[in-house]
Structure 1
Amino acid sequence: MKIRTALYCLKQGLVNIKRNKLFSLASISTIAACVFLIGMFYTIVVNFQYIVKSAEDQVGITIFFNKGIDQAGIDAIGAQIAANDKVANYTFTSAEEAWDIFKVEYFKQNEDLAEGFKDDNPLANSASYTVYLKNIEDQKSFSDEMSQVEGVRAVNYSEGTVSAMTSFGRLVGYASVAIIVVLLAVGIFLISNTVMIGISVRKKEIKVMKLIGASNIFVRAPFIIEGIVIGLVGATIPLVLIKVLYEKVVEFVMQQFSALSSIIVFLPQSTIFAVLVPMGLGIGAGIGFVGSILSIRKHLKV
C-alpha cells in the first residue's frame, strides 16, 4: 500500500470516528470498561500469586538427624541437599539454636523459667536442616528422597499446606483465563456493532468505490483503522486510571494492615505495568481489529 493511500485510509478511519461520535464514544467506553476490568483482575491475580509464592517460599522441609551423628555426617547430608536441583536454599539450625528459639517462643516474657534447665539442653537431638524448594509441589518427592539418606532420622513437611497452596494457585489460573475470555468476547461484540454503523452510513460510497475498481484492502482499511484507534484510546484511559489507583490502594492497605506487612507483599508498580501496559494496549487494539474484521466480513461483500 502506497504512503498516499495509507494516509487516505487513516484519514477516513478518523473521519468515521468523528462522524459516528456517539457510537465511537460508546465503543471507547465499552473497551475502557473491558480493559479496566481485565487490568484490575490481572493486577489482583498477579499480586495474589506473588503473595502465595512468597508464602510457598517460606514453607520449608525440616530434616532431623540420627542420635549420635557426628559433624562429618551432618555435613555429608548438607552436601546432598546442596547438590539437589530441587533445592532453592537451606539453613542449618544447631541444637543450641533450636533451644534458644524454643525458649523465646515458649517461655515468652518468662525466660527466667528456662534457667531451671541450665546447661541441660532438652533439645539436644534437635539439630536440623530447613530446606526451601524451588517448586513447592516437589516437597513430597524430595522428602521421600531424603528419608532414604543415611543419618536422617525424620523429614517433616506440611502436606496439607502444600496441597492447599497448589490447588489455590491452579484455581486462580483457571478463573483468570475464563473471566478474561468473557470480557474479550463482550468487547469484540460491541466494537463490531460500532463499525457496522459506520459501514451502514457509507454503504453507497463503498458501492461506488467497488464499481470504479477499488481494491478490497482500500475499502476495508479505514474501518480497520477506525476499530484499532478506538481500541487504543479505549485502552489508554483505564491504564492511566489503574496506575493512579494502584498507588493509592497499595498505600492504603500497607497503612491499614501494617501488622501483616511480612505476609501481604505487593509487586512493585514497575513490574506490574511492564506487562500491563503492552497487554492492555494490545487487547484494546486487538478488540478493535477483530471487531472490525468481523463486521466487514458480515456486512460487506468485498
Structure 2
Amino acid sequence: MKVSTFAYNCGQGIKNIKRNKLFSLASIGTIAACIFLMGVFYAIIANFQYMVKEAEDSVCVTVFFNDDVTEDQIKDIGDKIKKRVEVSRIKYTSAAEAWDNFSKQYFKDDLDLAEGFKDDNPLKSSANYEIYLNDLTMQDALVSYLKSLDGVRKVNDSPVTANTLTDFAKMVGYISVAIIIILLAVGIFLISNTVMIGITVRKEEIRIMKLIGATDMFVKAPFIVEGIIIGLIGAILPVIVLMGIYQKVIVYLMSQFQTFTSQVSFISPATIFSFILPMALIVGAGIGLTGSMITIRKHLNV
C-alpha cells in the first residue's frame, strides 16, 4: 500500500469518527468500560492467584525418620527426594535444631529450665525434611513415594489445604475467562453498530467510488481504520485511569490493613501494567478490527 493511500484511508477513518460523533463516543466509552473492567478483574484475579501461589509455596510435606536411621542414611534419603520432579526445595531440621527452636518458643522466659533437657532431648525423633512442591497437584504422588522409602517413619501432608487452594485457583480462572468473553462480545457488538452507521451515511459516496473503479480494499479500508482507532482510544484511556487507581488502592490497603497486608503481598504496579497495557491495546484494536470486519461483510456489498 502506498503512503498516500494509507494516509487517505487514515484520514477517511478519522472523518467517519467525526461524522458519527455520538456513536463513536458511545463505542469508545463502552470499549473503555469493557477494558477498564477487564483490567480491574485481571488485577484482582492476578493478585488472588499471586496470593494463592504464595500460600501454595508455604505448604510442605514433612518426613520423619525411624529412630535407628543414621545421619548418612538421612542424607541419602534427602538426595533421593531432591531428584524428584515434584520437588521445588527441601529443608532439613535436625533433632537438636528442632529442640532449640521449640525451647526458644516455649521457654523464652526461662531458658535455664530448657537447659535441663539438654542431655535428654525430648524431640530426639523429630529430625525431618520439609519438602516444598512445584505444584500442589503432585502432592499425592510424592507422599506415596515418600512412604515407600526405607527409614521413613511418618509423612505429614495437607491434602485438604492443597485441594482447597488448587480448586480455588481453578475457579478464579474459569470466572475470569467467562467475564472476559462477555465483555469482548459487548465491545464487538457496539463497534459493529458504529461502523454500520458510517456505512449507511456514506452509501452514495461508496456507490460512486465503485463506479469509477475503486478497489474493494480501498472502499473497506477507512471503515477498518475507523474501528481500530476507536478501539485504541477506548483502550488507552482506561489504562491511564486504572494505573492511578491501582496505585492508590495498594497504598490504602497497606496503610489501613497492616495486620492483613503483613501476611500477604501484592503485585507491583510496574509488573501488573507491563501486562495490562499491551493487553489493552491488542484487545482494543482487536475489538475494533473484528467489529469493523463483521459489519463490512454484512452491510457493505462491494
| TM-score when normalising by structure 1 | 0.95
The 5 A counterparts of 1:248-267 are 248-267=248-267
Partner of 1:42: 42
Task: For residues 117-158 of structure 1, give each alpha carbon's deviation from its aligned partner in whole angstroms, at most 9, with x where no partner exists.
Answer: 454321110010001011111111011111111111111110
Counterpart amino acid of 1:229?
I
Distance 1:109 1:26, change over 3 A: farther
Aligned-partner SS, 1:178: helix
Residue 177 of structure 1 and its aligned partner are, at CA, apart by 0.7
The 5 A counterparts of 1:71-220 are 71-106=71-106, 114=114, 117=117, 119-220=119-220
Aligned-partner SS, 1:126: coil
Residue 262 of structure 1 and its aligned partner are, at CA, apart by 4.4
Aligned-partner SS, 1:130: strand
Aligned-partner SS, 1:217: helix
Counterpart amino acid of 1:284?
G
Task: For residues 209-263 of structure 1, give each alpha carbon's deviation from its aligned partner in whole angstroms, at most 9, with x where no partner exists.
Answer: 1122211111110011001001000100011111111111111111122223343
Asked if the contact 2:184/2:287 (under 8 Å) is kept, the reply is: yes
Asked if the contact 1:57/1:132 (under 8 Å) is kept, the reply is: yes
> Within 2, Cα distance between the matches of 1:105 and 1:169?
34
Distance 1:114 1:260, change over 3 A: farther
> Within 2, Cα distance between the matches of 1:105 and 1:41?
42
Segment drifting more, 248-257 vs 224-233: 248-257
Counterpart amino acid of 2:236?
T
> Within 2, Cα distance between the matches of 1:168 and 1:238?
29
Counterpart amino acid of 2:122?
P
Q: Once superposed, what is the RMSD of the aligned Cα atoms?
A: 1.6
Aligned-partner SS, 2:91: strand
The 5 A counterparts of 1:270-285 are 270-285=270-285
Residue 114 of structure 1 and its aligned partner are, at CA, apart by 4.4
Task: For residues 247-289 of structure 1, give each alpha carbon's deviation from its aligned partner in whole angstroms, at most 9, with x where no partner exists.
Answer: 1111111112222334321112222122111110011111111
Partner of 1:10: 10
Give structure 2 stretches of 5+ with no counterpart.
Answer: none
> Within 1, Cα distance between the matches of 2:296 and 2:110?
79
Aligned length: 302
Aligned-partner SS, 2:64: strand
Partner of 1:60: 60
Paired-residue identity, %: 55
Counterpart amino acid of 2:264?
I
> Within 1, Cα distance between the matches of 2:276 and 2:124?
53
Asked if the contact 2:91/2:130 (under 8 Å) is kept, the reply is: yes
Task: For residues 81-131 of structure 1, give each alpha carbon's deviation from its aligned partner in whole angstroms, at most 9, with x where no partner exists.
Answer: 122222111111111221233334455656666466454321110010001
Partner of 1:51: 51
Counterpart amino acid of 1:30?
T
Counterpart amino acid of 2:80?
Q
> Within 2, Cα distance between the matches of 1:184 and 1:288?
11
Give structure 1 stretches of 5+ with no counterpart.
Answer: none
Asked if the contact 1:51/1:263 (under 8 Å) is kept, the reply is: no
Partner of 1:247: 247
Partner of 1:32: 32
Task: For residues 14-53 of structure 1, give each alpha carbon's deviation from its aligned partner in whole angstroms, at most 9, with x where no partner exists.
Answer: 1111111111111111100000000111111111111100
